[in-house]
Amino acid sequence: MTNTKASIIIPVNNGERYIRQTIDSALAQTYSDFEVIVVDDGSSDNTRNILASYGNRIRYIYQENKGPAAARNTGYRVANGQYLLFLDSDDLIPPEKLARHIDFLETWPQHELAYSAWHFLSDDGSTILGEKRPREEGHLLVDMLRRSFVMVSPGAVVIKRTCFDRIGLFDESPALIGTEDTDLWLRIAAAGYTFGYIDQPLLQYRVRHDSVSSNTARKIEVRTARLDKFFTVPDLPEVIKNLKAEAYSTIYFEAAADYYRIGDMEQGCHNLQMAIKLCPAKTEDRDWILEWLAAAIAEPQTKHPLKMLNRIFAHLPPEAAFLKSLRRQAVGRYHTAAAFTAYHNQRPQDIRHHIVPALLNDVRLITNRGFIKIVLHALYSWLILTRQGFESL
């Protein structure tokens, strides 16, 4: 095996629309000792010709269609790197991605992997729709099961090869297609390994409406299958076993939000009822419920967040009437998230639209340094524009 420090593995199936952008972002890394492996998982479009144009700049492997988990595993088996990055075929990474992760993992060798913050990118790549900064690290199994910590994509992660040697590869079961990455994170966390975190957006995760994850009914199926598999593991600690009802409940909370988002009130109510029925105690954790509600309306796929919020409150099942007391805080968190999104898109005029509603609904923001920073940025931009206006008179 050739000694290569890092391998970027990109599975692709009919990815002609985005694959060139993804490969170009991978090849542009400032870190010098790496390889790019592209596994073509049975593409029938122009993907193969696009990949051929890169010549020996990439390692190209073709296989009959077996699914994303199998394609990633194929890439792993031929990879030479000590550090592995599994990049989806429509995602983008900045040039410093590998360098930052490898430096982090070599500085903090107790971690088996390091994940970064990420941006949500519009389908056409023109707009940053939002960002996610989980800021969680260490032993994260409990947070994963409670869904208070969710990693969005393998592309946020660089993982040591030795970790796969110990816990196994991606699960290729058809029942887990679309959640094989989360299954892997659960297995890593259950094995006692710790997660490192880099508080810098080092992934642009493209939000597409034709992806596997956009099908709500399918998401319920695969997430349930993932938990079915996890909770059959023998000798789970009692504290983990006790989270079973809550873990299944979160699936239905998330499904309820998805259904409300697409305007299916009946299914939204039904799934919210299911969530509460499975774990009534969940309703007592108001911080978690508020985070779920705020995240639901701030989700990048939500076209009209406040309309969605109104839709939820107009169609609550009786069991969820307690949510009404959290409405104001949810609105405040939405405007806060929207202000940060406008900041990252360099649209100070949009920041100003969200500052006052955010503060009116959550006065604690006056102690939030990040929020104050973007307020000052918006104010400075406004002063510059005002000055330019006067000078032009």
CATH of domain 4-212: 3.90.550.10
Distances in whole angstroms, Cα of residue 218 to Cα of each of 138, 174, 212, 288, 368: 31, 12, 8, 24, 38
**Residue of 235, 255, 241 whose CA lies nearest to 142:** 241
Average pLDDT, the chain: 91
**Structure token digits, residue 369:** 């340094």
Q: How far apart are the first and last CA of the chain?
A: 70
- For range 222-241, the mean pLDDT: 94
pLDDT at residue 82, rounded to an integer: 96
pLDDT at residue 346, rounded to an integer: 74
**Residue of 29, 33, 11 whose CA lies nearest to 82:** 33
**pLDDT per position as a tens digit, 374-387:** 888 888 777 776 66
- For range 175-190, the mean pLDDT: 94
- For range 119-129, the mean pLDDT: 90
- For range 189-206, the mean pLDDT: 96
- Cβ atoms of residues 48 and 19 within 8 Å: no
Of the listed ranges 51-65, 114-128, 209-223, the one predicted with least confidence: 209-223
pLDDT at residue 209, rounded to an integer: 66
pLDDT at residue 148, rounded to an integer: 83
Give SS3 for 220: helix
Is pLDDT larger for residue 29 or for residue 2? 29
CA distance 305 to 297: 5
Residue spans per domain, the chain: 4-212, 243-387
- For range 230-253, the mean pLDDT: 95
CA distance 82 to 21: 25
CA distance 145 to 246: 8
Residues ≥6 apart with Cβ < 8 Å to 314: none
pLDDT at residue 100, rounded to an integer: 98
274 pLDDT band, cuts 50/70/90, is very high
Check pLDDT > 60 for residue 212. no
Residues ≥6 apart with Cβ < 8 Å to 131: 117, 118, 119, 120, 201, 340, 341, 344
pLDDT at residue 389, rounded to an integer: 63
Length of the chain (residues): 393
Residue 177: left if φ>0, alpha if ψ -120 to 50, beta else—which one?
beta
- For range 27-37, the mean pLDDT: 97
Task: Determine the residue type at 393.
Answer: L
Q: Fill in the DSSP letter of residue 92.
A: B
